[in-house]
Amino acid sequence: MTPLRLPAVPTLSEADSKALLASHGLPIAAEKVVDSVDDAVAAAGELGHPVVVKLGGDSIAHKTERGLVRLGLADDAAVRTAATDLLAAATPADGAVHLLVAPMIKGNREFIAGLHRDPQFGMTVMLGVGGILAEAVADVTFRLVPIDAVDAADMIDDLDTQRLLGEFRGEAAVDREQLAAVLLALSGAATDDPRIVSADCNPLIVTADGAPVAVDALVELGAH
């Protein structure tokens, strides 16, 4: 049983988290935030199927654990059903909620990137191999914020699982410059916005053409 979280450290919604990080250069997929089932269906039509629909809100931090993410919705009917179910799943504790509609990003490789404020060294930026085994594998590397382009390239070189960065299962090699841009965007966000306590871009999916895309993000803010 997870203990109740006190609202001492506010988290931004996924949409706001992405918007904040995207403003510093984080590559994210086009997505739409809507309030109703009909608007969700329309948004999916504009983005093109298949889509993913998630329930969002400032108080909703762990969507996957609560089943608030619906993947691979292939047509209007599927979007309608998912959107209806998700809105019904909201609880009073969630406060204001919305639906986040985004194209379904596919790729065999997942990374994780983020920010963490270390008690001794202050704000750090991280890159790691992602996926469900991320914490068990723990192929991660940290640097102190701010980083420069050389540091970002070094971080990518630091990962033990270098084979994931080359051509992989018919997918192009990871675009290292774009992956470095993710890290530089995180570092820039932390430098410019001292309210940021932590950030996760998890997963950061590498598409078939090698481009990393943050399909989920979570930013925690605190007093500074």
Partner 1 sequence: MPTTEQFTALFEPRGVIIAGASTHPGKFGFVTLHNLLAGGYPGKIFATNLEGTDVLGVPTVPSVADLPAGEADLIFLCTPAKANPQILRDAASIGVRAAFITSAGYGEAGEAGQKAQDELVALADELGLLVAGPNGQGVVSSPARLCAQIVAPIPPAGRIGVASQSGNFVSSFENYAVQTGVGLSRGISAGNAVCVGISDYLDYYADDPATAVGLAYVEGVQDGRAFAEAMRSVAERKPVVVVKGGATAGGQKAAASHTGSLASDDRVFDGMARQAGITRTPTVEEAFEAAATFATQPLPKGNKVVVLTTVGGWGVAAADAIAGTDLELAELPADLYDSIDSLLPPRWSRNNPIDLAGGETRDTIPEIISLVTAHPEVDAVLYLGIGIQSNQAALLRTGGFYPDHGIERMAGFHERQDARYAEAACDASDTYGKPVLIATELAVTHPDNPGPRTVRERGRLAYASANRAVTALDHLWRYRRWRDARGLG
Q: What CA–CA distance (Å, rounded) separates 171 from 103? A: 19
Question: Least distance in Å: CB of 46 to partner 1?
Answer: 31
Q: Which residues, 146 to 205, sit near partner 1 by CB under 8 A?
A: 147, 150-151, 153-155, 158, 198-200, 202
97/140 with CB nearer partner 1: 140
Tell me, by CB under 8 A, how many residues bind partner 1: 37
**104 binding partner 1? (CB under 8 A):** no
The answer to whether 222 touches 40, Cβ cutoff 8 Å, is no
Cis peptide before 50 (omega within 30 of 0): yes
Question: Least distance in Å: CB of 118 to partner 1?
Answer: 5
Which residue bears the tokens 């995207």?
22
Question: Least distance in Å: CB of 203 to partner 1?
Answer: 10
* Backbone dihedral angles phi then psi of residue 171, each to the nearest 5 degrees: -100, 150
- Kindly list the strands in the beta sheet with 98-103, ordered across the sheet, starting from the edge strand earlier in the chain: 32-34, 98-103, 51-56, 69-73
Residue from 40, 86, 99, 112 touching partner 1 (CB under 8 A): that is 112
> What x-and-dash track marks residues 125-144 binding partner 1 by CB under 8 A?
-x-x-----xx--x-xxxxx
Q: Where are the beta strands (DSSP E) in the chain?
A: 32-34, 51-56, 69-73, 98-103, 109-118, 122-129, 140-144, 196-206, 212-214, 217-221
34/220 with CB nearer partner 1: 220
**120 binding partner 1? (CB under 8 A):** yes
**73 binding partner 1? (CB under 8 A):** no
17/207 with CB nearer partner 1: 17
Look up residue 144 and give its two tokens. Answer: 């102190």
Look up residue 14 and give its two tokens. Answer: 């996924």
- Separation of CA 60 from chain center: 14
- Separation of CA 43 from chain center: 20
169/224 with CB nearer partner 1: 224
8/88 with CB nearer partner 1: 8
Question: Least distance in Å: CB of 186 to partner 1?
Answer: 9
The answer to whether 110 touches 132, Cβ cutoff 8 Å, is no
Residues at the site binding partner 1, with contacts judged by CB under 8 A: 5, 9, 11, 61, 112-116, 118, 120-122, 124, 126, 128, 134-135, 138, 140-144, 147, 150-151, 153-155, 158, 198-200, 202, 218, 220
